[in-house]
Amino acid sequence: MTASKTRRVSAGVPTAFREEARRAGFLVTLTYPGSQDEAQHVNFRKEPKFNIWKLRPLRPGMQGPRGSLVVRLLWALVDPQTRKPYLDRSVRPHGKITPPVVRAINAFQHDRHIPVTGVVGVETIRALRAARRLQKREAKHKSTPAHS
């Protein structure tokens, strides 16, 4: 399987076609071939009919794999003011949303201007994942030497 680059379509696909797909809930993307053997094509992606973070947000006291994911993200993300992780690595909640984890969630929500509830729903998990992706990208750019 080859990796291919994807971007949002702005040209190449008729506007009426894109608009109709958008109204139907699809995201239209154009995929560039990863090799000369592959053809360029248009992709349609639709959001799932349900989102577990929306149906069952993560609340204090809950535990499981989603709790472990949130804890790992909070360990990795650095608070921009203190330059320390939102959740200290010494806190080992084993996938449970404990009071220290709730405090870290509240701090993250406050910093991102998300309503501070201590509950991890769709908006919070998306912000956590986006912040982690951005942090990884910034770290990668810092580690790569600049070309002269």
Q: Where are the domains of the chain?
A: 6-46, 52-143
Tokens of 80: 């921009």
CA dist 147 to 138, 140, 142, Å? 17, 15, 12
Task: Tell me the per-residue pLDDT of 38-97, one tens digit each, with 9 for 90 and over.
Answer: 665 666 777 666 678 888 999 999 999 999 999 999 999 998 889 999 999 999 999 899
- pTM (predicted TM-score): 0.65
State the Cα angle at 128 between 126 and 130, rounded to 5°: 65
**52-143 carries CATH number 1.10.101.10:** yes
